[in-house]
Structure 1
Amino acid sequence: MLHIANIIRDQKFIDGQIAYHELTADLCQHDYFIVSWTKNIEFKYMTKKDRVQVVNPDELINILGTNKYDALFIHNFLYMPLHYMWKVPVSIKVFWFAWGYDFYNTPKDQPYVSIPLLHQKSKELLRELRASQARISCFTKFKRSAKHCVKNLFQYNKQDHNDNPDVYKKAVSRVDYFSGVFPLEYDLLNQKPEFHAQKVAYEYTNPVDWDNDFETIPEIGNNVLIGNSADINNNHLDMLDYLKEVDFSGKKIIVPLSYGGSKQYANKIDKAYKELLGKECLTLLEYMSREDYLELLSSVGVGIFFHERQQATCNIEELLRHGVKLFLSETSINYRHYKSVGYHIYSLQHDFNQQALDIPLTEEQKKHNVQLWLRTSNREYRLQYLYDIYDLLKQPNR
């Protein structure tokens, strides 16, 4: 039987991923680790926390060295301390399942894949937020600098080096297999000289969703979903330029802001949207359970996403499979992917107006999108991803 170690964090969809892996328990044992120097982890999202071991990086390397693991699955590159990557035993194959932030936004000042992520107003807001964080006394700066120097001297291993471009590139060279959320992301990384990983397919999914292979398209509401989180990559402020040109009477505008960014940013967006949209605006500042959030999404008839990188795919695909009309930035990785697959989606920059907002997809367009989603989101198709990886690991000369 295969044995795989998974590096994870307490995130919303990890419970579903554990359930997904469990469907192949006769072929592979999956262990789950959160790597942290602090052992007191408060679980906010996961309910399957009994499946998780919290270990520091040295303990992880010891576990990997003393147990017969065939592979290490890293769910988001940043959840592994990258200066420990070259300590992973060479007999263990390393899989990097990228989420997006871990190469579009990292390293912080020199992103591994550099594309323009922010539009003008969001750029200005980012500068404002950074300036407010930088307003500290000279004495405080001195203390922080001195403390940083001492830690660098005596606690190198305990530092976060994931934003160091040299450390990052060396860690990338240790990766054997890579899967992005979209296939085209492999091509973006494959241009890098230190990237030698082979391409694999892996999906984030939840088996409970596979039971919804509905023959008829469910009824949807007429509310509007704006973005997916309080991450500034949503370009919330720039999206207001499009929203102010239309009338949302009779619709609720739902703006999720409960995770993914700073409280300061969420509060600024909350204020800006309520000032423009008034009582029609429903900002989500507190975390909702998956069930409650999906119920809220069932009231949505239009989704608008202004990300430029791959992001918000769980929200986007949940809406696609219900026949919701979507407007994406036409310059985005999201738009390129979903257009290439054949979905009926629209350009925020060129298609969004009052008429486009008020007229839903035709029944034929809805059916087309739903069938496309079902084609790759059923039990047989999703499990094949795992079977293919297991077959790869069983090869004698892997």
Structure 2
Amino acid sequence: MTKRIIHIFADTPHHYKPMQQFFEQQCRPNAEQLFWVKTPESIPNFVNYKNNAELFDLLERTNAKDQIVFHGSFDMHVWKKLLLSSVTKRCSCVLWGAELYRHTKSNRTIKERIVHVLHALVINRYKQVFALNKGDAKLAQRVLFKRNVNVLPYPLIGMKVEQEREQLTPAKPLKILVGNSASASNNHIDALNKLAHLANENIKIIMPLNYGGEQSYIDEVIKHATALFGDKFIAITEMLNKQDYDKLLNDVHLTVFAQHRQQGLYVAYAMLLMGKPMFLLSNTSSFNYLTELGFEIFKTDEVASMSYSELSDLISKDNNRNPDLMNQHFTEQALAPKWRNMLEQLHG
């Protein structure tokens, strides 16, 4: 019987398409790989399922030796069915972070506590569990009671770095990227308030608000940002293809994150690869993990006291350390052997 590994993705094209290419081209194991994605439409090189009923129909028809990898697992209805399925012992998962942090909120409802227990039960039936950094691995061990959680980051895929760094002039403002999505976990308003003292300077505040958030929240953020920065604020509300998104990341000068958790790794890795300043909250697993590896990361709380000239000096400095460390730790070439080894081990 042919060895098979089945990768299961949520409906996130910016993730599953490059990862499929990475698995097939960069780290193909000694096994056939299949790629499933939750989407209403057929996509080349993928098996699509529209709902959980179709997913479990596919799972029940897998071979007894097939190994299954969930890339992110957020749906408690999937957990509930997996808890009662014989398939689960052949499943592994990569925790993205968001599914962990939901269990750390204070004042959780009874339903949320039941979901927490359900998640812990199903995680402990999985064959292997992985987190994207050491802090999230420790959190998974603590809140899901899973003894062995290994660290295996996703790589930065296909990012082309423009070599020429734009110089600031009266016609070319300092471009600050704030957050990575419309999710309220970005704490956009807090980040905007920390930048408010720069409102009269030659800046542009650029904010991706094109996925992941409620419209009422997006409207509130846009209203607040416009009140602070006027036409110096740019909201991105339409989805960008990868080429345009990468161009945006090449175009900005620095990034400010105000999330209290690990989030926006594609943006973070791109900034590090380009040697651009990045500000993270110092209590996040991302900040601790990256600084432990030697990356130069700035604290979000400090940006509130930094002047325009200080930020201008910061972006004009050559930073070779971060790009060098990115090439060591988070590029496709660095991570392909680790992912290949993980996939090979699934079949023992």
TM-score by length of 2: 0.84
Tell me, which stretches of 5 or more residues in structure 2 are unaligned? 168-173
| Cα distance in 2 for residues equivalent to 1:382 and 1:286 | 31
Query: Hey, which bits of structure 1, 4+ residues long, moved more than 6 A?
Result: 160-163
Instruction: Kindly indicate whether residue 338 of structure 2 is the aligned counterpart of residue 392 of structure 1.
Output: no
Q: Which residue number corresponds to residue 63 of structure 1?
A: 58
Q: Which residue number corresponds to residue 2 of structure 1?
A: 3
Instruction: Pick one of 27, 30, 34 that aligns with 2:30.
Output: 27
Q: Which residue number corresponds to residue 292 of structure 1?
A: 244
Task: Return the offset for 1:18.
Answer: 0.7
| Cα distance in 2 for residues equivalent to 1:260 and 1:194 | 29
Cα 1:163–1:103 shift into 2, 3 Å: farther
| Cα distance in 2 for residues equivalent to 1:184 and 1:223 | 30
Tell me, yes or no, if the aligned pair for 1:308 and 1:334 is still in contact at 8 Å. no
Cα 1:326–1:170 shift into 2, 3 Å: same
Q: Which residue number corresponds to residue 74 of structure 2?
A: 78
DSSP-derived class of the 1:72 partner: strand
Task: Return the offset for 1:15.
Answer: 0.4
Tell me, yes or no, if the aligned pair for 1:266 and 1:285 is still in contact at 8 Å. no
Cα 1:54–1:273 shift into 2, 3 Å: same
**What does 1:17-56 correspond to in 2, within 5 Å?**
17-23=19-25, 24-25=27-28, 27-34=30-37, 41-42=39-40, 48-54=43-49, 56=51
**What does 1:197-212 correspond to in 2, within 5 Å?**
197-206=148-157, 208-209=158-159, 212=160
Tell me, yes or no, if the aligned pair for 1:181 and 1:203 is still in contact at 8 Å. yes
| Cα distance in 1 for residues equivalent to 2:114 and 2:10 | 18
Counterpart amino acid of residue 175 in structure 1: Y
Cα 1:362–1:220 shift into 2, 3 Å: closer
Q: Which residue number corresponds to residue 293 of structure 2?
A: 341
Q: Which residue number corresponds to residue 97 of structure 2?
A: 100
| Cα distance in 1 for residues equivalent to 2:300 and 2:106 | 19
Moved more, 317-326 or 194-203: 194-203
Counterpart amino acid of residue 30 in structure 2: L
Counterpart amino acid of residue 71 in structure 1: Q
TM-score by length of 1: 0.75
Q: Which residue number corresponds to residue 169 of structure 1?
A: 120
Counterpart amino acid of residue 219 in structure 1: R
Cα 1:94–1:28 shift into 2, 3 Å: same
DSSP-derived class of the 1:311 partner: coil
Task: Return the offset for 1:67.
Answer: 2.7
Instruction: Kindly indicate whether residue 171 of structure 2 is the aligned counterpart of residue 219 of structure 1.
Output: no
Task: Give CA-to-partner distance per residue, 1:9-57, whole Å, 9 cap, x none.
Answer: 221211001101112456222223345xxxxx446xxx94551221554
Cα 1:275–1:49 shift into 2, 3 Å: farther
Task: Return the offset for 1:266.
Answer: 0.7
CA-atom RMSD, angstroms?
Answer: 2.9
Q: Which residue number corresponds to residue 381 of structure 1?
A: 334
Instruction: Pick one of 214, 224, 228 that aligns with 1:262.
Output: 214
Tell me, yes or no, if the aligned pair for 1:229 and 1:259 is still in contact at 8 Å. yes
Instruction: Kindly indicate whether residue 322 of structure 2 is the aligned counterpart of residue 369 of structure 1.
Output: yes
**What does 1:104-253 correspond to in 2, within 5 Å?**
104-105=101-102, 111=103, 113-114=104-105, 164-192=115-143, 194-206=145-157, 208-209=158-159, 212=160, 217-220=163-166, 222-247=174-199, 249-253=201-205
Tell me, yes or no, if the aligned pair for 1:176 and 1:197 is still in contact at 8 Å. no
Tell me, which stretches of 5 or more residues in structure 1 are unaligned? 36-40, 106-110, 117-159
| Cα distance in 1 for residues equivalent to 2:3 and 2:265 | 30
Q: Which residue number corresponds to residue 266 of structure 2?
A: 314
Task: Return the offset for 1:267.
Answer: 1.2
Task: Give CA-to-partner distance per residue, 1:229-264, whole Å, 9 cap, x none.
Answer: 111111111223211122463322101111111111
Relative contact order higher in (CA < 8 Å, ≥ 6 apart) = 2
| Cα distance in 2 for residues equivalent to 1:372 and 1:182 | 15
Cα 1:340–1:25 shift into 2, 3 Å: closer
Identity of aligned residues (%): 18
